[in-house]
């Protein structure tokens, strides 16, 4: 084996090692944005870093989504049980609130390993 061969092998090994950590390694942390779905369509995708309020129309009325201090919540929504509002402030990747009567889904998106792949409830 010549020195050139050794260099090619070393380069290939380094490349494989880099590609593994880059593409297969642990993801960075952090919830970054909130996705709002109305019916079957994505209504909005907003950064959690910008405080705002948005009204989402649905078949039962208006669902109000509020973003503040890096979290989002369902501030107001039709539905007598108040299930959407009861989800509280959503901060972590995978957190969500749903208004079934108004067919609105609010979910937090971002990178990061979740403890569970799915929650049974």
Chain residues binding another protein by CB under 8 A are 1-2, 4-5, 8-9, 11-12, 15-16, 18-19, 22-24, 37, 39-40, 60, 78-81, 87-88, 96, 98, 100-101, 103, 105, 107, 115-121
**Residue 15 beta carbon to another protein: minimum distance, rounded to whole angstroms:** 5
CA nearest to 36, candidates 20, 16, 18, 57: 57
Torsion of Cα atoms, 111 then 112 then 118 then 121, to 10°: -90
**Residue 39 beta carbon to another protein: minimum distance, rounded to whole angstroms:** 7
Nearer to another protein, 22 or 28 (CB): 22
Residue 37's SS3 state is strand
**Residue 75 beta carbon to another protein: minimum distance, rounded to whole angstroms:** 18
Q: Are 48 and 108 contacting, i.e. CB atoms less than 8 angstroms apart?
A: yes
């Amino acid at each position: 084996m010549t020195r050139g061969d050794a260099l090619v092998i070393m380069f290939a090994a380094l490349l494989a090692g880099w590609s593994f950590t880059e593409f297969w390694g642990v993801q960075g942390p952090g919830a970054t944005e909130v996705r709002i779905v109305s019916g079957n369509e994505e209504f909005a995708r907003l950064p959690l870093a910008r405080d705002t309020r948005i009204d989402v129309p649905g078949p039962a009325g208006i669902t109000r989504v509020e973003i503040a201090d890096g979290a989002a919540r369902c501030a107001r929504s039709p539905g007598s049980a108040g299930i959407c509002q009861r989800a509280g402030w959503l901060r972590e990747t995978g957190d969500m609130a749903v208004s079934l009567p108004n067919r609105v889904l609010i979910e937090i998106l971002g990178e990061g390993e979740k403890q569970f792949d799915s929650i049974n409830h």
